[in-house]
Amino acid sequence: MPRYDDDDFGRSRSRGASPAGSPVAWVLVGVLAVALLAAGVGLFVAWPKAAPLNDPTAQPRDVVPKGPLDGEEREAVELFKNVKDSVVNVDTVVFRRNLQTRSTDVIQAGTGSGFVWDDQGRIVTNFHVIREAIKSKLTLRVVLADRSEWKVEVVGVAPEYDLAVLKIKAPPTQLKKIKVGTSRDLEVGQKVYALGNPFGLSLTLTKGIVSALDREMESPANTPITGVIQTDAPINPGNSGGPLLDKDGRLIGVNTAIATAREGEGNVGIGFAVPVDTVNWVVPQLIQSGKLQKPDMGIRLVDQVRLRRAGYDHGVMIEAMEPNSPAALAGLRPLSAGPREVTPGDLIVKVDGVEVKGNADFEQLMTRRKPGERVKLTVERDGKTLEAEVVLRGV
């Protein structure tokens, strides 16, 4: 009986020979190679030729018609059109003689924003925008929205509120005074717009909301500015002195400062504006007399060191008082020295319910008041506690 390993098939497999070594395998390989070559030639013939880089017949694309503006877009566009002519650049410039060209170069040393207050050419801005110019006796320049440039006179400054009033001699036809609103009825969340010249980029409009109310910030005079508006409308260096507006284009604040994580950084979404109700009280005073009237009740206080040595560990004492002053009209009593004894003056321990620890406390509480305001004082006299209401005057 034959065995499988005795025939040719059996021997070839048992020896590990490759099928490729057989004539049939070589024929199959050849056929496959011819097929691949033919397919490659066909693909090369069918592949499209590359388009030329240039086309002499190229034409502009058809323009897709513009859709209508939505409500918010129309509001912003109309607001900008109505207010832009009221906003100005306030620049500090240095004149330098150019020896090569024998001409005078005008170099911009600082820039800020402002707005037209009235038809007589008065401009409102921040005090800190013009502070260096005043200190170093540099030239101030106002650039109107029509890009005309004007020399500036300083009407008055109020560092306590970081406000200043300037004046230019532009004709009334080139002046458009801003519409004034109120800040007493502002609400957190309502829409606001900022218009100014950040980084010298004239007439830049940004949008946000009232983020918070009744903030407090320090003025250039190192006194507190109260009632400050916080907004997330993007405000950057150069916006200072520009208007913060409501949706109707009314002035509701003067953009003044930004909060930054590090010195020199730009906007991080926290900006501050002096409220318009403060502006509308300060600016007329600066126009009237060139200075701000400070609240006063017509008294002089006992030196705090002397008072503490005398055994009074709290409050402030009235040392002297002007005749017919607000304090005198309210029935307050100053210190008096007779031939044999000294009668202490009224010891003021509270102002509108806020405790007075010393002279600095009292002065700070007064800086937050305005002439004409009524202030309730709590005083100690002869071992008794009394209440007195004083109507502050301006000095």
Task: Count CB atoms within 10 A of the CB of residue 116.
Answer: 24
**Residue found by looking up tokens 């060209």 in the block:** 101
**Rounded-to-integer distance, Cα 44 and Cα 21, Å:** 33
* Angle of CA points 271, 275, 281, to nearest 5°: 150
Evaluate whether 195 touches 80 at the Cβ level (below 8 Å).
yes
- Least Cα distance to 206 among 172, 245, 263 occurs for 245
Rounded-to-integer distance, Cα 273 and Cα 234, Å: 12
What is the number of residues in the chain? 395
Q: Are strands 103-116 and 122-125 parallel, antiparallel or unpaired?
A: antiparallel
Longest dimension (CA), the chain: 158
* Closest CA relative to residue 273, chosen from 258, 253, 287: 253
Q: Is position 162 annotated as part of the catalytic site?
A: yes
Other Cβ atoms less than 10 A from the Cβ of 128: the count is 19
335 near 300, Cβ under 8 Å? no
- Contact between residue 271 and residue 235 where contact means Cβ atoms under 8 Å apart: yes
Catalytic residue among 113, 240, 246, 277: 240
Q: Is 299 exposed, middle or buried (0-12, 13-18, 19+ CB in 10 A)?
A: buried
- The contacts of residue 83 (CB under 8 Å, 6+ apart) are 178, 179, 195, 243, 245, 249
CB 254 within 8 A of CB 239: no
205-217 residues labelled b (16+ CB within 10 A) or e (exposed) = bbbbebbeeebeb
Residue type, 134: I
Q: Name the catalytic one among 91, 128, 183, 277.
A: 128
Catalytic residue among 86, 91, 113, 162: 162
The dihedral built from the CA positions of residue 223, 229, 234 and 235, taken in this order, carries a sign that is negative
The dihedrals phi and psi of 282, each to the nearest 5 degrees, come to -75, -45
Q: Kindly state the tokens that stand for 24.
A: 């049939």
DSSP H helices in 290-346:
304-309, 326-329
Q: Which residues are identified as catalytic?
A: 128, 162, 240
